[in-house]
Structure 1
Amino acid sequence: MKTPALTFLYVPADRPERVEKALASEADVVLVDLEDAVAPAHKDAARANLVRLLADAAGDRAVQVRINHPSTPWHAADVAALAGLPLPVGARVPKVESPAEILALAAALPGRDLHPLIESALGVERALDIATASPQVASIGLGEADLRSDLGIDDEAGLTWARSRVIVAARAARLAAPAMSAYPNVRDLEGLATSCRAGRALGFRGRTAIHPAQLATIRAAFLPSAEEVVRASEVLARVADATAAGVGAIALTDGTFLDVAMVERARAVLALAGA
């Protein structure tokens, strides 16, 4: 298995020096932002920076560009700029509420991976329809700041159902597990770690970051523990031994009998660990 991406670093496109640092960072994926992190007066400059900085660098880096929503005056120019970039540069699509938005973007950006963000109650209700709108949809995720506002909630507990809904939709659409939305307090690394562990328990894999200082905490929270790696290795070793011996029923040393789901989970754990 290919090692999955765990860290996704947002960087505003109107700060070219930060984009360059992000591209050189340890983030698995760099998210160059034309949307919320860029003031309206800077949109054109940000787009120009995008074209200049990613025309060459994108081939060496996993990169996505968050474009502005179709309801804004910057959307068409964003899409045109992205269309001129190398095909591996993905489109991160904000505030998606319907499959029609994805179909229109897929037509404008043929062959390019699309990464819809669900940021409203209506989007959550249509999560599976959005996830399956086009073969170009490569992932889905939540934009939790806007979703909190739409739902009128202040704490993470209120997001649990929406988070699970998107995780289930991604799985049903045969997409990778979603990455969590960014944790807004860049100094609260303990709170970030706690939130990541809760998200991991729900089924998220990885998280977006708004500052490089968050990357190590995110990675540590989503990587399997040493005990999980040992157990996963034992699972696969037992399967190999049983297959060689022609044995049908397989049990671990603690007496747990193995099934197909446990074997697949063990492979996923070792893939995350890079083992």
Structure 2
Amino acid sequence: MPTLLYVPADRPDRVAKALATAADVVILDLEDAVAPAHKDAAREHVSGLLADPPRPIQVRVNDVRTAWGRADLAALAALLPATDGVRLPKIESVDQVRRIAELVPGTGLHLLLESALGVERAHDLATAHPAVASIGLGEADLKADLGVADETGLVWARSRVVVAARAAGLPAPVQSVHPDIRDLDGLAASCRLGRALGFRGRAAIHPAQLPVIAEVYRPTDEEIAAARRVVAAYEEGDATGTGAVALPDGGFVDLAVVRQARNVLAEAAGGRSMTT
């Protein structure tokens, strides 16, 4: 259940605060959070930080079809393997992914699908190159491209990217950011929906969002207790090797149910679930 925190790369004060948070990964943002006039300064600041990275850091570059994006990749290539991964916005083609992998060898590529075309090609993109480490959505751009009013219009796209990640053998995706930093109740509700759809974690744009994300994505005490009962019952009752057991309350446990229970226990222990 990773928590990721975006921070504008041209704001050293905010970067320092982000690095001190409990976020699992800090993402230095060269794209949306940085004004055009500050792109070069932001890139220079990232280069300075990556010379001696204090903790796991990813970098979101600009659209690689632009001069800014190409300059971002060139700067990162000179610093490899300092970064924990590169987040790539507006990805739509397999050839694009393969070219980027050649430019930044040995670095995990985290693809952001932000258009209808990108979503339609989700599995192809997820399997485009061994360097692809994750896929996810960029929901602000995707909403605009699809013309949907709110996140209810993104349910299919969210499910699509979850299925594509699983089919490609990648970790379950993390949710896109919730843009209203004051709406913590809305953030929690959105996270609950995301978790139900198969996401495992979320990106934030403000430190105040991190505890909400972590709380919603953390398995509850009831879920953990139920998972332990399922695993224990299966391990005790399957001595005959039948592959399924009946529970005292009338429930039925087979390998698929046990697998899900073990996923819950892995998440509770802070590990990666078996399905990812």
User: What TM-score, normalized by structure 2, do the two folds share?
Assistant: 0.93
Cα deviation, residue 24, structure 1: 1.6
Aligned partners of 1:134, 1:33: CA distance in 2, in Å? Answer: 24
Matches within 5 A, 1:87-166: 87-166=82-161
Report SS of the residue matched to 1:64.
strand
Partner of 2:177: 182
Q: Identity of counterpart residues, as a percentage?
A: 60
Partner of 1:45: 41
Cα deviation, residue 258, structure 1: 1.5
Matched, 1:68 2:38: no
Matched, 1:80 2:44: no
Say whether the 8 Å CA contact 2:4–2:27 is kept in structure 1: yes
Aligned partners of 2:266, 2:103: CA distance in 1, in Å? Answer: 35
Aligned partners of 1:151, 1:31: CA distance in 2, in Å? Answer: 26
Partner of 2:222: 227
Report SS of the residue matched to 1:258.
strand
Matches within 5 A, 1:9-48: 9-48=5-44
CA RMSD of aligned residues (A): 1.5
Aligned partners of 1:87, 1:256: CA distance in 2, in Å? Answer: 50
Aligned partners of 1:47, 1:87: CA distance in 2, in Å? Answer: 14
Cα deviation, residue 86, structure 1: 2.8
Report SS of the residue matched to 2:58.
strand
Structure 1 range deviating more: 245-254 or 133-142:
245-254
Matched, 1:253 2:248: yes
Matched, 1:242 2:217: no
Aligned partners of 1:37, 1:132: CA distance in 2, in Å? Answer: 29
After superposition, the C-alpha distances for 1:90-115 in whole angstroms (9 at most, x for unaligned) are: 01000001111110011111121000
Q: Name the CA shift for 1:49/1:227 in 2 (closer, same or farther; >3 Å).
A: same
- Structure 2's unaligned 5+ residue stretches are 271-276
After superposition, the C-alpha distances for 1:24-57 in whole angstroms (9 at most, x for unaligned) are: 2100111110111111111111011111112222
Partner of 2:261: 266
Cα deviation, residue 9, structure 1: 0.4
Detail structure 1 runs of 4+ shifted over 3 Å in the superposition: 245-249
Cα deviation, residue 138, structure 1: 0.7
User: What TM-score, normalized by structure 1, do the two folds share?
Assistant: 0.93
After superposition, the C-alpha distances for 1:65-95 in whole angstroms (9 at most, x for unaligned) are: 0011122111222112212143552010000
Say whether the 8 Å CA contact 2:23–2:210 is kept in structure 1: yes
